C-alpha cells in the first residue's frame, strides 16, 4: 500500500513538475544565457552590466549628436521636405528603432508580447521623462506653443483608442495592421500641411480677439 500511494502521489505531482520545467525552459529560450552566474552577479559582476549599459547610452548619444542629426538635416534639404515631415518620418524612425527591433525579436524570436509594452511604455517615457529632462537642463528659454502638443496628443489619443479596440480579442489581423499603417500615413500627410493648418486655425481662434491700445484707449481688432 505504501508503494502504491507513493507512486500515485508521484504520478499526481508529475504534471506540475513537467509544467514548471516547461515554463523554465521557455523563459531560458526567450533570453540568452548570462556570462556570469547568479553568485558572481551577487558578488559584484552586475557592475559590469551597469557599465555596459552606460557605455551604450553614451555611444548612442554621440552617434545621434555627431551623425544622425546632421544626416537628417542633409536629407531634409536634399528631399526639400519640411522639418515637421522629417521629424514625423526620419527622426521618428531613428528614435523608435530600438522599439522596432525589440518588437521584432519579441514576436518572431522569443514569441513574447514584450513588444506591446515596449512601444506603449516608450511613448510614456518620451512624453514624461524626455520632455521634463529637456526643460530642466535647457540652457536657454524654450519658446513653446500649444499647437504641437494639441496636434500630437489628438492623433495619439485617436490611435490609442483604435489600438485598444483591436486588442479586445487579443488578436491582430492583417487588415487591422493595415489600418494602423494607414493611420500613420495620414499623420505624415497631415504634417505636410501642418503650417497651413496651424495658421488657419490660429486665425479662426483670433478672429474676434481685440487688443487694448494705451495711447488712444480704444479697442481695435487684432489679427495675425
Q: What is the mean pLDDT of residues 87-103?
A: 78
Residues 6 or more apart whose Cβ sits within 8 Å of residue 155:
187, 190
Q: How far apart are CA 33 and CA 189, in angstroms?
A: 44
E strand or H helix that includes residue 211: strand 210-213
At residue 114 the predicted structure's pLDDT band, cuts being 50, 70 and 90, is: low
Nearest residue to 95 via CA among 139, 116, 126, 50: 126
The CA distances from residue 71 to 47, 66, 75, in Å, are 35, 9, 6
Residue 129 in this model has a pLDDT that exceeds 80:
yes
pLDDT at position 83 is 75
Which alpha helices (DSSP H) does the chain contain, by range? 2-30, 38-40, 46-63, 69-79, 83-86, 92-95, 97-108, 114-125, 131-137, 146-166, 174-192, 194-205
Query: Which positions ≥6 away from 172 have C-beta within 8 Å?
Result: 166
**pLDDT the model gives residue 211:** 58
Q: Are 187 and 88 in contact (CB under 8 A)?
A: yes
Percent of the chain with pLDDT over 90: 9
Give tens-digit pLDDT for 199-219: 898 888 887 666 555 555 555
Coil/strand/helix, residue 218: strand
pLDDT per residue over 132-189, tens digit each? 888 888 888 877 788 888 888 899 889 889 988 998 888 889 999 999 999 999 998 8
- The grid cell for 40 is 558572481
Tell whether the model's pLDDT for residue 192 goes beyond 60. yes
Predicted TM-score (pTM) of the model is: 0.66
- What H or E segment, with its residue span, contains residue 112? none
Q: How many CB atoms lie within 10 A of CB 115?
A: 19
pLDDT at 60 over 80: yes
Amino acid at each position: 500500500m505504501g508503494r502504491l500511494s507513493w507512486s500515485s502521489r508521484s504520478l499526481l505531482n508529475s504534471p506540475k513538475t513537467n509544467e514548471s520545467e516547461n515554463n523554465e525552459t521557455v523563459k531560458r529560450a526567450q533570453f540568452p544565457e548570462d556570462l556570469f552566474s547568479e553568485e558572481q552577479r551577487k558578488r559584484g559582476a552586475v557592475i559590469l552590466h551597469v557599465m555596459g549599459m552606460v557605455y551604450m547610452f553614451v555611444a548612442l548619444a554621440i552617434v545621434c549628436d555627431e551623425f544622425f542629426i546632421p544626416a537628417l538635416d542633409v536629407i531634409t534639404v536634399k528631399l526639400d521636405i519640411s522639418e515637421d515631415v522629417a521629424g514625423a518620418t526620419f527622426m521618428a524612425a531613428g528614435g523608435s528603432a530600438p522599439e522596432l527591433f525589440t518588437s521584432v525579436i519579441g514576436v518572431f524570436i522569443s514569441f513574447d508580447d514584450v513588444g506591446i509594452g515596449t512601444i506603449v511604455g516608450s511613448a510614456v517615457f518620451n512624453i514624461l521623462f524626455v520632455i521634463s529632462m529637456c526643460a530642466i537642463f535647457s540652457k536657454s528659454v524654450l519658446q513653446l506653443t500649444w499647437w504641437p502638443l494639441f496636434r500630437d496628443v489628438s492623433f495619439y489619443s485617436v490611435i490609442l483608442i483604435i489600438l485598444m479596440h483591436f486588442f479586445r480579442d487579443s488578436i491582430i489581423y492583417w487588415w487591422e495592421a493595415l489600418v494602423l499603417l494607414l493611420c500613420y500615413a495620414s499623420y505624415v500627410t497631415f504634417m505636410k500641411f501642418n503650417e497651413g493648418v496651424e495658421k488657419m486655425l490660429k486665425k479662426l481662434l483670433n478672429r474676434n480677439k481685440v487688443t487694448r491700445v494705451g495711447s488712444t484707449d480704444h479697442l481695435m481688432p487684432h489679427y495675425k
